[in-house]
Structure 1
Amino acid sequence: MIQLLFLVLFAEGIVALLLLVKIGPLRELVIKSLDQLKMGKGPATVKTIAGTMSVILLSSLMSIIKIQNKGAKLGTMSPMDQVLWRTHLLEASLMGFTLFLGFIIDRMHHYLQKLVGLRSNMGASKEELERLRKEKTQLKEKEEKASKELKLLQEEISKLSESLKKVKLESEEKNRKVETAEAHVAALQKQAADLLLEYDRLLEDNQNLQNQALGYKG
C-alpha cells in the first residue's frame, strides 16, 4: 500500500511539474491526457478513487487516534503499537498529500484550460484589432483620396464660375452694344422718316411752284 502511494505521489509530482514547467510538447500532451480523463466515465472513476482514499485516510486517522489514546491510558506504547502508529501516520500523510496534489493538479489543469482559451481569444482579438487597423488605414486613404477629389472639384467649380462670370460680362457687353445699335437704328429710321417728310414737302412746294409758273404763262 505504501509503495503504491509513493508511486502515485511520484506520478502526480511529475504531472504537476510538467503542468508548471513547459518542456517541449509535454505540457500539451499532459493537458490532452487530462482532458480525455475528464471525459466519459473518467470523472466518476476519479471521484470514486478519491472517495475511497478519503475513507482510508479517515480510517488511518482513527487508528492513529485509538493508538494514541491506548498509549495515553497505559502510559506508554508497545513496540507493535509504535510500528502501527508510524505505519498509519505514513499512510495518512501519503494519502493526504496524494489527495491534495490531485486537487492541485485538477485546479492547475482547469486554469491552464482557461489560460489557453484566453490566449485564443486574445489571438482572435489581436486579429480583429489588426483588421480594424487595416480598415481604418483604408478609410483614411479613401478619405484623403476623397479630399483630393473634392479639392479638384472645388477648383473646377471655381474655374467654371469664373468662366460663367466672364460669359455673363461678355453677354452684358453684347447686350449693351445691341441696345446701342438698336437705338442708333431707331434714330436713323426717325431721321429717314423726317427726311422723307421734308422730301415730300419739297416735292409739294415744287409742284406748287410749277403750277404757279404755268398760271403766269397762261
Structure 2
Amino acid sequence: MIQLLFLVIFVEGVIAFLLLVKIGPLRDLVIKSLDQLKMGKGPATVKTIAGTMFVILLSNLMSIVKIQNKGSKLGIMSPMDQVLWRTNLLEASLIGFTLFLGFLIDRVHHYLQKLINLRSNAGASKEELENLKKETVNLKEKEEKSSKEIKQLSESLKKARLESKEKDKRIETAEVHVASLQKQAADLLLEYDRLLEDNQNLQAQTLRH
C-alpha cells in the first residue's frame, strides 16, 4: 500500500510539474489526457477512488487515535503499537498528500483550460478588431470619394448656374435689341408712308400745272 502511494504521489508530482512548467508539447499532451479523463465515466471513477482514499484516511486517523489512547492508558506503547502507529501515520500522510496533489492538478487543469479559452477568444477578438479596422478604412476611403464627387457636382452646378445666368443676360440683351429693331422698323414704316404721301401730293401738283 505504501509503495503504491509513493508511486501515485510520484506520478501526480510529475503531472503537476508538467502542468506548471511548459516543456515542449508535454503540457498540451497532459492537458489532452486530462480532458479525456474527465469525459464520460472518468469523473465518476475519479470521485469513487478519491472517496475510497478519504475513507481509508479516516480509518488510519481513527487507528492512530485508538493507538494513542491505548498508550496513554497503559502509560507506554508496545513496539507493535509503535510500528502500527507509524505505519498508519505514514499511510495517512501519503493519502492526504495524494488527495491534495489530485485537487491541485484538477484546479491547475481547470484554470489552464480557462486560460486557453481566453487566449482563443482574445485571438478571435483581435481578428474581429482587425476586420473592423479594415472596414473603417474602407468606409473612410468611400467617404472621401463621395465627398470629392459631391464637390465636383457642386462645382459643376455652380458652373451651370453661372452659364445659365450668362445665357439669361444674353437673352435679355437680345430681346432689348429686337425690341429696338422693331421700334426702328415701325418708325421706318411710318416715315415710308409719309414719304409716299408726300410723293403722291407732289405728283398731283405736277399734273395740275
User: TM-score normalized by structure 2?
Assistant: 0.93
How far 1:29 sits from its partner (Å)? Answer: 0.3
Say whether 1:116 aligns with 2:116.
yes
Letter paired with 2:102: G
Letter paired with 2:8: V
Partner of 2:20: 20
CA distance in 1, matches of 2:198, 2:110: 127
CA distance in 2, matches of 1:3, 1:198: 157
User: TM-score normalized by structure 1?
Assistant: 0.90
How far 1:199 sits from its partner (Å)? Answer: 3.8
Partner of 1:135: 135
Provide the secondary structure at the position in 1 that maps to 2:23.
coil
Partner of 2:177: 177
Q: Write out per-residue CA displacement over residues 169-203 of structure 1, whole angstroms, 9 at most, x where no aligned residue.
A: 21111111111111111221222233334444445
Structure 1 stretches lacking a partner, 5+ long: 214-218
How far 1:156 sits from its partner (Å)? Answer: 1.9
Partner of 2:188: 188
Partner of 2:91: 91
Letter paired with 1:44: A
Say whether 1:72 aligns with 2:72.
yes
Equivalent pairs counted in the alignment come to: 209
The percent identity for this pair of structures is: 66
Partner of 1:36: 36
Rg comparison, structure with higher value: 1
How far 1:158 sits from its partner (Å)? Answer: 2.1
CA distance in 1, matches of 2:60, 2:199: 158
CA distance in 2, matches of 1:32, 1:14: 16
Over the aligned positions, Cα root-mean-square deviation in angstroms equals 1.6
Deviates more, 1:149-158 or 1:121-130: 149-158
Partner of 2:126: 126
Provide the secondary structure at the position in 1 that maps to 2:22.
coil
Partner of 2:105: 105
Partner of 2:165: 165
The 5 Å alignment of 1:53-72 reads 53-72=53-72
Q: Write out per-residue CA displacement over residues 62-112 of structure 1, whole angstroms, 9 at most, x where no aligned residue.
A: 101111111111122122111111111111111111111101111111111
Letter paired with 2:103: F
Deviates more, 1:189-198 or 1:104-113: 189-198
Letter paired with 1:77: M
